[in-house]
Structure 1
Amino acid sequence: MNFTEAEILGLVGAFIWPLMRISAMFVVLPVFSIRAVPARVRLILSVALTLAVMPLLPALPAVELFSYAGGLMAVQQLAIGLVSGFIVQLVFAALVFAGQGVAYSMGLGFAAMVDPQNGEQVPVVAQFYVITGTLIFVGLDGHLLLIRMLLDSFTTLPIGMAGLATADVWTVIAWSSRLFAGGLLLAMPMIASLLLVNVCFGVAARAAPQLNIFSVGFPITLMLGILLIWVTLPDVLDQFSGLLTDAYELIGHLLRL
């Protein structure tokens, strides 16, 4: 059996183009992008999904793999995969932002641990929110839903020169403001309550200067903060689920689903 050079390049392109889109998503997809997951695991999953989706792909354009047009197609596939995972990553960044605000308000800003998502030091409260949000994300099969949406995008947004438009990029940039708005919305009840407590301690310190406000206020603020985290956790998780829903709606809009 003999193969021409054009046939070999066509087969390689039919494998490389979807692999780029799928592997780019796994690079930034929560749960799979953490440092605890080896790179070879992401590679094996990407190759397996690519082999599974190859027979279902529509006809690919006749573009040489190593050409200027091929480079533009590669950039489009990488952009589609990266944007799909990046939007979900912003939702988890909102949890980190909210946890940092709560931790600093209750005096736990100095207590930090390594975040497995990005390998950086974050307050323990933020880490608690991230772990809880990850359990919700996996429990709702959010990772499977995103993988399915990306695989469906090969039909609605086929491999070719056309992909994400400039308006889509500006939509993602505008939606990234939800990182701060959503994080502030998650943490606002606790921050406002702890601010009121600190104001009361400030008034008490002015009324009774002999009172050691630091030795009295820190344990009370810490215990009240832990109590507020426990009381508001269901509402925080509801808000997190709402942010995830909005993120998936945006991804569906960008992938033309």
Structure 2
Amino acid sequence: MPPVFTVNSVQWAAWMAAFLWPFVRMLALVSTAPIFGETWVPRRVRVAIAVLLAVVLGPTLGPMPDTPVVSAGGLWIMIQQVLIGGAMGFTMRLVFAAVMAAGEYISLQMGLSFASFFDPMGGGGQTAVVSRLLNMLALLIFLAVDGHLALIAALAGSFQALPVADAPLSAQGWMFLVQSGGQVFSTGLMLSLPLVTALLTLNLAMGILNRASPQFSIFAVGFPLTLLAGIFMLELLMPRLGAFLEPRFAAGLAGMTDFVTALRR
């Protein structure tokens, strides 16, 4: 007679905890992180990726808390996992926010601040053309340097640095996340500074020329000249974009680890 496979309620609850809590953290990260969390990625694909990661990584995560899944403590653990995963994805998203900010600075200096369009891929708001271009290039560079694989590796490492538990999270981690947001403006300014400086110098030169020769129509010549100079500077910027962003991607991944480490202090 073949052996009968039986599962009791205790085993079933342990299996549910071993899958559900890691899955919630993974799904929160996949929903907010670059590449995986883009609006053009269907929700079913995000859920499928999170399920696959939970099935693969779940057996390697060690024992889970003894708290029942269907309880107030289990709900609190689930909320914590949502916050941790979402904040990790947001930390990496800050790098791309800096690229978008650089595009806004460049558009304003080139006179293309009005050249914005409805962007369903960027959340449904108005996005400058240059910002959208730089963001797409940043996503391609992120894929080229295997940033999506490094993102999954950082997610797997977060369970070692901060295991699933019902312990309260430290406020230092959230303060680290707030301080990281300030780097959006500085990084965006560093990326756009060469082009902004060149265009500002050009505008200053045209202003001096207009004062020296009042009959010179600055409005008729200034905008086309600024636009052409901006396009030329963008052409010079593109080959160096990867060298600038690769260290920022590494810093973003390191920031994810530092954030998780700060939460357990």
* Common fold: TM-score over 0.5: yes
Equivalents in 1 of 2:46, 2:67: separation in Å? 27
Structure 2 spans left out of the alignment, 5+ residues: none
* 2:106 partner amino acid: V
Residue of 15, 37, 41 corresponding to 2:45: 41
Any conservation in 2 of the 1:115–1:127 contact (CA below 8 Å)? no
Residue of 192, 196, 205 corresponding to 1:191: 196
Secondary structure of the residue aligned to 1:121 is strand
> Counterpart in 2 of 1:122?
127
- Between the two proteins, what is the percent identity of the paired residues? 32
Residue of 176, 201, 220 corresponding to 1:171: 176
Any conservation in 1 of the 2:18–2:63 contact (CA below 8 Å)? no
Relative to the length of structure 2, the TM-score reads 0.90
Cα displacement string for residues 58-116 of structure 1 (whole angstroms, at most 9, x for unaligned residues): 11110021322212211221122112111111100100000111011011112223262
1:132 aligns with 2:113: no
Residue of 112, 115, 119 corresponding to 1:111: 115
Equivalents in 2 of 1:213, 1:135: separation in Å? 39
Shift of 1:188: 1.1
Any conservation in 1 of the 2:99–2:188 contact (CA below 8 Å)? yes
> Counterpart in 2 of 1:21?
25
Range moving further from structure 2, 220-229 or 8-17: 8-17
* 1:241 partner amino acid: E
1:57 aligns with 2:45: no
Range moving further from structure 2, 216-225 or 245-254: 245-254
Map 1:67-82 onto structure 2 (within 5 A): 67-82=71-86
Q: How well do the aligned residues superpose, as a CA RMSD in angstroms? A: 1.9
Equivalents in 1 of 2:110, 2:61: separation in Å? 53
Structure 1 spans left out of the alignment, 5+ residues: none
Cα displacement string for residues 20-66 of structure 1 (whole angstroms, at most 9, x for unaligned residues): 01000011111121221110000111111111122222111100213
Shift of 1:164: 4.3
> Counterpart in 2 of 1:201?
206
* 2:143 partner amino acid: V
> Counterpart in 2 of 1:32?
36
Equivalents in 1 of 2:143, 2:169: separation in Å? 28
Residue of 220, 223, 228 corresponding to 1:218: 223
Relative to the length of structure 1, the TM-score reads 0.93
Equivalents in 2 of 1:115, 1:201: separation in Å? 38
Secondary structure of the residue aligned to 1:255 is helix
* 2:107 partner amino acid: A
Shift of 1:2: 4.6
Range moving further from structure 2, 79-88 or 219-228: 79-88
Number of equivalent positions: 257
Shift of 1:240: 1.8
Residue of 246, 250, 258 corresponding to 1:245: 250
